[in-house]
Amino acid sequence: MANQDHIRNPIEWTADQIKTAGLAVGQAGHALRSHEEGGELNLPAVRRITVADLGDVLAKGLDDFGACRTDVIFLCIVYPLAGLLMAWSAFNYDIVPLLFPLASGFALVGPIAAVGLYEMSRRREQGADANWAHAFGVLATPAFGAILVLGLVLFGIFLLWLVTAYTIYHVTMGHEGGASLGAFYHDVFTTSEGGALIVVGVGVGFLFALLVLTISVVSFPMLLDRDVGLYTAVATSVRAVLANPVPMAVWGLIVAGGLLFGSLPLLLGLIVVMPVLGHATWHLYRAVVPR
């Protein structure tokens, strides 16, 4: 019989995670359409909330961050590193016009990166231990296949946003990328073409962000919390946004403002902003979808 006190080395731990992920992917068919969706579909109830409730949601997110601070900082240091890598790529490959779309794209793929944080909040809510290793518990959830598919959808939306943003730049400014940062800044903020770029780019970017918010704000936490399929999770997320248009719009502004604030000092603020928003999103799900 195996010794329960045996401390696994990193190789054993990694092998276990890969094995768990393999089993979870094998359950993708079940995850995409759970047994509850085989007949008449009964979507979960959706509760109406107020803007004032968002303060409580953020307070709970801060509390989770404070309780798991060391672990989430360890996990979330990858966010500024990834952002800096993308910025370096933009400079290195002369695609400076994509700097802002890349930075704002954090809002589009943020729900994917926050799944592990949802799991930590879920465990802490249940009174269980919650550390960085438990964030990988998402690999063992029956809905991992659905989470993976929805994550790929968001990544596809992110890539479409980059293509769209670059096309808008080309149409409004009338030339390809390759300009220096100084020249790009001058063209955008001192010319009428630059003004058109800002107006159209921000407007289209808002539509992309609205789409992602609508399909993901509830769906990712719900897939972790309940044995439902992808359709049920996304449909419930859409209904939650439609039932709470003003609070959800304010939440979207909070997320966008937080990411902007966290991106200013070389993206280092994301180490704190991302986990707080991630934990808070779990509690927003709890506020909107009753148990």
* This model's pTM is above 0.85: no
pLDDT at residue 214, as a whole number: 96
pLDDT at residue 157, as a whole number: 95
Secondary structure string (H, E, C) spanning the chain: CCCCCCCCCHHHHHHHHHHHHHHHHHCHHHHHCCHHHCCCCCCCCCCCCCHHHHHHHHHHHHHHHHHCHHHHHHHHCHHHHHHHHHHHHHHHCCCHHHHHHHHHCHHHHHHHHCHHHHHHHHHHHCCCCCCHHHHHHHHHCCCHHHHHHHHHHHHHHHHHHHHHHHHHHHHHHCCCCCCCHHHHHHHHHHCHHHHHHHHHHHHHHHHHHHHHHHHHCCHHHHHHHCCCCHHHHHHHHHHHHHHCHHHHHHHHHHHHHHHHHHHCCCCCCHHHHHHHHHHHHHHHHHHHCCC
Q: What is the pLDDT of residues 149-185, one digit of tens each?
A: 999 999 999 999 999 998 998 899 876 555 667 777 7
Q: Over 70: is that where the pLDDT of 104 sits?
A: yes
pLDDT at residue 106, as a whole number: 76
Q: Over 50: is that where the pLDDT of 196 sits?
A: yes
- Band the pLDDT of 189: cuts 50, 70, 90: confident
- Band the pLDDT of 50: cuts 50, 70, 90: very high
Q: Over 80: is that where the pLDDT of 264 sits?
A: no
Q: What is the pLDDT of residues 60-96, one digit of tens each?
A: 999 988 887 655 665 556 666 666 666 666 666 567 7
Q: Over 90: is that where the pLDDT of 227 sits?
A: no
